[in-house]
Amino acid sequence: MTDVVLQGLTKRFGAVPAVRNLTCTMTPGVTGFLGPNGAGKTTTLRMLLGLVRPTAGTATVGGRRYADLPQPRRVVGALLDSTGFHPGRTGRQHLRISADQSGLPAARVATVLDQVDLGGAADRRVRGYSLGMRQRLGLATALLGDPEVLVLDEPANGLDPAGMAWLRGLLRDLGAEGRTVIISSHVLAEVRQTADRVVIVGEGTLRHTGPLDEMAGLEEEFLRLTGGVA
Amino acid sequence: MRAELRKLITARSTWLLLAIAQLIVVAGVSGLMLQRDDPASDDAQRGAIAHVGLVALFGLLIGILAVAGEYRHRTITDTFLARPHRDRVVLSKLVVAAGAGAVLGVVASATALITDAIWLAAKGLSIDLASGVLWRTVAGGIGWNIAFAAIGVGVGALITNLSAAVAAALGWLALVEGIVGELIGDASRWLPFALGQALVGLPNSADRPQAWQAGLVLVLYVAVFVAAGIGVTTRRDITH
């Protein structure tokens, strides 16, 4: 049972504030991390993952900053919007490298390939993958360390309807197992079907946090909270 | 470290660079052997085997690709997620690239020696494998490859835009070092390419640095580039 805690998290790129004094706690279960484009979702997740250095404040997982986790991949798995793959490597090679540098056993590679249903394409070069297959490979990478916390930026990107249904099931299962699953998205319909709670941000600040079932209508509330027109 | 090695050997660019380097060595050695009337002399042999050092350009590219290539393909995100201590990532790349430079140097040496021996045989001569000049040149050429591959890691960590890093490195070797050399006069012998040449005993004159001096200063260059690369890398925001 691992909580993710953001405390006064702030990031400015030059003079531009991307995230402003964001404080919230994300507990086990599925949390929808919502906000319009440019609200600072991705920057927040990247600070949580140690990729972007906060201007102020902290982001911790189970009380520790990402960089202070002895084996970060065993605690946190991440899928980012633009996760890169070397086009000349096969999916399996990519996962092998990822497992090696994360200090994870090579046997995990076959397990996660099965889990995301990518076994058949594992030995093809990523160059020939569809967007949906890349997304599955990214999810496989996130699952490599069998982590208690999953940070997924727009996980449904590029998935076809069958892929979406599969992803929904996977996320629900992961949440039900007591993992802390954070899904950033602006596809509200998708979030409504999987999330237990939502955190809504707008212009880099926290606008709302709470259980989904207490919200009258997700879209109306989202638009009201983020200054869109209902 | 093992992951870095796997990245190197699963990238086709590595093998392509290794192959092209061999073609250049064969062509370079052949050209020199065709040109000289005294192909078996120390001077001609040094000039022929020194082509091993010239492919250090490819070592430099391998070093640059090891770092800037990860930014190019955005795999750097995965690497830093796996290993948030970025200084250690750069140092692993340094070790693996230096090793790759050594392999490149050794393979190029074998190619150069075989090509050299074939040309000598064609002219009714034979290669003098007991020659000190020959082996000093081989050792210097391998050292040049190792040093440049290591410098490449520093360059790639500083300039993460792959095209810009490659352009900067090639531009330096083709043009800038010569111009800087004219500006600074005698001190130009301590610039990187001149030091590589000194490692293989070129130019054949008394006022070039000794091979050990050249090696030492190249190690200093590696230290400076890699330290600067680590300094920048640990502060950089990875935003895409």
| Tens digits of residue pLDDT in A40-56 | 999 999 999 999 999 99
As averages over each run of 10 residues, the pLDDT of chain B (240 residues) reads: 90 94 97 92 94 96 96 94 96 97 98 96 91 93 98 98 96 93 92 95 84 96 98 93
Q: Do B82 and A72 touch (CB under 8 A)?
A: yes
Chain A closest CA to B240's CA: distance in Å? Answer: 6
Share of chain B above pLDDT 90, in %: 88
Which of B74, B85, B239 is opposite residue A67, by nearest beta carbon? B85
- Residues within 8 A of A (CB atoms), B 66-85 only: 69, 73-85
Please write the tens of the pLDDT for every residue from A188-226.
Answer: 888 888 999 999 999 999 999 989 887 768 888 888 888
Mean pLDDT of chain B: 94
pLDDT band at A156 (very low <50, low <70, confident <90, very high): confident
Give pLDDT, residue A83. Answer: 66
Q: Which residue of A has its CA nearest to B74?
A: A84
What is the C-alpha separation between A54 and A22, in angstroms, rounded? Answer: 11
CB B104 within 8 A of CB B66: no
Q: Do B239 and A84 touch (CB under 8 A)?
A: no
What is the C-alpha separation between A34 and B50, in angstroms, rounded? Answer: 62
- Residues within 8 A of A (CB atoms), B 124-163 only: none
- For residue B190 the two structure tokens come to 């301590």
Please write the tens of the pLDDT for every residue from B118-163.
Answer: 999 999 998 989 888 999 999 999 999 999 999 999 999 999 999 9
Give pLDDT, residue A193. Answer: 87
Q: Do A97 and B84 touch (CB under 8 A)?
A: no
Q: Which residues of chain B have a CB within 8 Å of the CB of A86?
A: 7, 10-11, 69, 73, 75
- For residue B143, give Cα distances in angstroms to A19, A128, B75, B214: 49, 40, 30, 10
Give pLDDT, residue A197. Answer: 94
Which of B6, B7, B81 is opposite residue A49, by nearest beta carbon? B81
What is the C-alpha separation between B135 and A65, in angstroms, rounded? Answer: 53
Give pLDDT, residue A191. Answer: 86
Q: Do B6 and A141 touch (CB under 8 A)?
A: no
pLDDT band at A168 (very low <50, low <70, confident <90, very high): very high
- For residue B86 the two structure tokens come to 């970025």
Q: Do B10 and A43 touch (CB under 8 A)?
A: no
Residue entry with tokens 């991705």: A42
CB A18 within 8 A of CB A47: no
Q: Which residue of A has its CA nearest to B80?
A: A51
What is the C-alpha separation between B194 and B188, in angstroms, rounded? Answer: 7
The interface pTM score, or ipTM, of the predicted complex is 0.92
| Residue A52 in contact with partner chain B when CB distance is under 8 A | yes
pLDDT band at A227 (very low <50, low <70, confident <90, very high): confident
Chain A closest CA to B89's CA: distance in Å? Answer: 9
Question: What DSSP designation does A83 have?
Answer: -
Mean pLDDT of chain A: 92
Give pLDDT, residue A37. Answer: 86
Phi (first) and psi of residue A200, to 5 degrees? -110, 125
Interface A-B, measured as beta-carbon pairs within 8 A, has a size of: 81
Average pLDDT over residues A95-122: 95
Q: Which residues of chain A have a CB within 8 Å of the CB of B78?
A: 83-84, 98, 101, 141
| Residue B7 in contact with partner chain A when CB distance is under 8 A | yes
Position A82 pLDDT exceeds 70: no
Q: Do A52 and B12 touch (CB under 8 A)?
A: no
**The model's pTM:** 0.92
CB B19 within 8 A of CB B108: no
